[in-house]
A and B are shown apart, each in its own frame.
Chain A
Amino acid sequence: MADIQKQFEKFHDNIRLANENRILKEKRDVLKNNLGDALKKNDDAPTVDKYLLQGSYAIHTGINPPNSDYDIDIGVVFDCTKEAFGALKLKNIVKEALDHSSRDPKLKNPCITIQYTKDGEDEYHVDMPVYVKRDDGKGYDLAWGKNSSSEDWLHSDPEGLVDEINGKYSDEDERAQFRRVVKYLKAWKGMKFTAFTIPSIGLTLSTWEMFAPDIDFYDNSKNDLAALKKTVARILSAFRWVAGVEGKSLYRLQICLPVSPRNDVFEKLTDQQMTELKDKMESLLDTLKYAENEERSEKACKELKKHLPDFPVPSTLETAKASVLSLNNTGSSS
């Protein structure tokens, strides 16, 4: 078996989004200040109770986006309950406060989105969900919708989700390996799915439920290849047959949010799209199995590179030990 943990670590360094990414933190702070100042000028606006760090930043599974359009999730919680405002009314108050010559906030069902561009290219975007408090103190009510027909309040618990995900692994090494495996699968999805998107939270929660760590009990050495392989195998075994269409079987994987509203995070994907996810994951698993068997590291890494973007491939020379200069006699065979 090829030992390619070093290559996995290098790959991880390439894809990971550094948590201390200062620029993104600055953008968040600027946005918070702007929003706070603008809301103060509006007498109708409720006061901000706090901001929530959510999304992959909060669970340390952020990766550099393939198209370099960074995604910042920042939730805003208002110090009121849903009785005080209509969901759409409140979202519009926030949208107007964010409106600015250089910004063009847009209403989406779960949030307000602001796309920032640089030299005509998308540079990053901010998704801002708007929450109000609940009398029972269990999470928040999320302002949902972008028009009067979709408008609603949805019970949501973003902090509970972060706590659930971050709290599952008490062992520091296992938690770090879990986060790496999530990042590998997100990088894989970025490379393999272009026609439609697999929600990142789906891969994150699938891994969270099915994660199989691989850390040596005695010397604590990590085997990310084995952890990824076992996790993918477990996820695949959780797919269920749902229908047969024109001789082709269709499958789904159902993974529910562990907190309210506890919906299936893959619910927006069609049966065909879920089956495509399964097919591509099976092909990934085949390659992971091959890489585990292959003795020659450079061959294993070359195959992995077909599934994991820019996976590092060692040179043939660095995979071998030095040898003596030979002496070769001539000889006859028959």
Chain B
Amino acid sequence: MSPQIVKSVGQAIRYTKTDKSRIIFDEAVIDTLMCYRQNSSLKVEAGGLLLGRHLKGGSHIAVDLVSEPMRGDRRTRTSFFRGRGHERFAHECWHNSKGVFAYLGNWHTHPCMYPLPSETDFDDWRNVLKNDIYEGKNLYFVIVGTKGLACWEGCSQHGKFVKLEEYIFP
């Protein structure tokens, strides 16, 4: 499967969830993720949490912001350790938004064009699906390749991961 081509700056990206509603990555989120693309051999792996809203009147999800690499993380060219700071960031967002901004999943980068999850990635995804606390039964996982991103939906009920298709307005 080909990766999503990088959009011109200032465009939200949408994926169709398995329930046919959508997850929307805000243009500012896309811009941030694109900054961490490992498109030069000097750039190390990056990652963080996806945060945003469960929208009213349906089951659309809006990713409004992400946590970015911070103290306590460990970063190399091919690995990323997400430290404790990300939870603190998520809790701050939750409090500041009076309990609206939710934890929706996580993201990290790959130094290749076609992002595919590694066994280490699947281990992390399975672990957080099972042991984290979050709203609903799904978490979303983004891998940022050198050309663009790909998104998987994880379900806590059967522990499966489904790669989502990009959604374009009709």
Q: Are A295 and B132 in contact (CB under 8 A)?
A: no
- Selected from A293, A316, A329, the residue in CB contact (under 8 A) with B64 is A316
Confirm or deny: B163 has a beta carbon within 8 angstroms of a beta carbon on chain A. no
Confirm or deny: B68 has a beta carbon within 8 angstroms of a beta carbon on chain A. no
Q: Are B132 and A324 in contact (CB under 8 A)?
A: no
Most buried by A among B14, B49, B56, B91: B56
Report chain A residues within 8 Å CB of B49: 328
Report chain A residues within 8 Å CB of B14: 295
Q: Are B128 and A295 in contact (CB under 8 A)?
A: no
Question: Which residue on chain B has the smallest CB distance to residue A322?
Answer: B99
Confirm or deny: B120 has a beta carbon within 8 angstroms of a beta carbon on chain A. yes
CA distance A3 to B134 in the complex (A): 26
Q: Are B91 and A331 in contact (CB under 8 A)?
A: no
Q: Are B127 and A331 in contact (CB under 8 A)?
A: yes
Report chain A residues within 8 Å CB of B58: 295
Q: Are B56 and A320 in contact (CB under 8 A)?
A: yes
Q: Are A329 and B132 in contact (CB under 8 A)?
A: yes
Report chain B residues within 8 Å CB of A331: 81-82, 106, 124, 127-128
Query: A293-334 CB contact bits vs B (8 Å, 1 = yes)?
Result: 101110000000000000000001101111111111111111
Q: Are B81 and A332 in contact (CB under 8 A)?
A: yes
Q: Are A3 and B57 in contact (CB under 8 A)?
A: yes
CA distance A328 to B94 in the complex (A): 13
Question: Which residue on chain B has the smallest CB distance to residue A1?
Answer: B58
Q: Are B45 and A333 in contact (CB under 8 A)?
A: yes
Q: How far is the CB of A55 from chain B (nearest CB, A)?
A: 39
Confirm or deny: B100 has a beta carbon within 8 angstroms of a beta carbon on chain A. yes
Q: Are A323 and B100 in contact (CB under 8 A)?
A: yes
Report chain A residues within 8 Å CB of B99: 322-323, 325
- Selected from A290, A293, A323, the residue in CB contact (under 8 A) with B101 is A323
Report the tally of A-B residue pairs with Cβ distances under 8 A: 116
Q: Are A333 and B120 in contact (CB under 8 A)?
A: yes
Taking A319-B55, A325-B99, A325-B133 as contacts, is the C-beta distance between A332 and B82 under 8 angstroms? yes
Report chain A residues within 8 Å CB of B84: 330
Give the interface size bracket for B toward A: 35 or more
- Selected from A295, A329, A333, the residue in CB contact (under 8 A) with B47 is A333
Q: Are A326 and B54 in contact (CB under 8 A)?
A: no
Q: How far is the CB of A273 from chain B (nearest CB, A)?
A: 32
Report chain B residues within 8 Å CB of A334: 45, 78-80, 118, 120-121
- Selected from B56, B79, B98, B131, the residue in CB contact (under 8 A) with A319 is B56
Report chain A residues within 8 Å CB of B78: 334
CA distance A30 to B47 in the complex (A): 73
Taking A326-B103, A334-B120 as contacts, is the C-beta distance between A321 and B128 under 8 angstroms? no
Q: Are A323 and B120 in contact (CB under 8 A)?
A: no
Query: B108-131 CB contact bits vs A (8 Å, 1 = yes)?
Result: 100000000010110110011001
Q: Are B133 and A324 in contact (CB under 8 A)?
A: yes
Report chain A residues within 8 Å CB of B170: 293
Q: How far is the CB of B102 from chain A (nearest CB, A)?
A: 3
Identify 24 residue pairs between A and B in the complex whose beta-carbon atoms are under 8 Å apart, listed by A's number.
Answer: A293-B170, A296-B60, A297-B55, A316-B64, A320-B55, A321-B53, A321-B54, A321-B135, A323-B54, A323-B101, A323-B103, A323-B135, A326-B87, A326-B102, A326-B133, A328-B49, A328-B87, A329-B128, A332-B120, A332-B124, A333-B45, A333-B79, A333-B108, A333-B124
Give me the interface of A with B, judged by CB distance under 8 Å: 3, 290, 293, 295-297, 316-317, 319-334
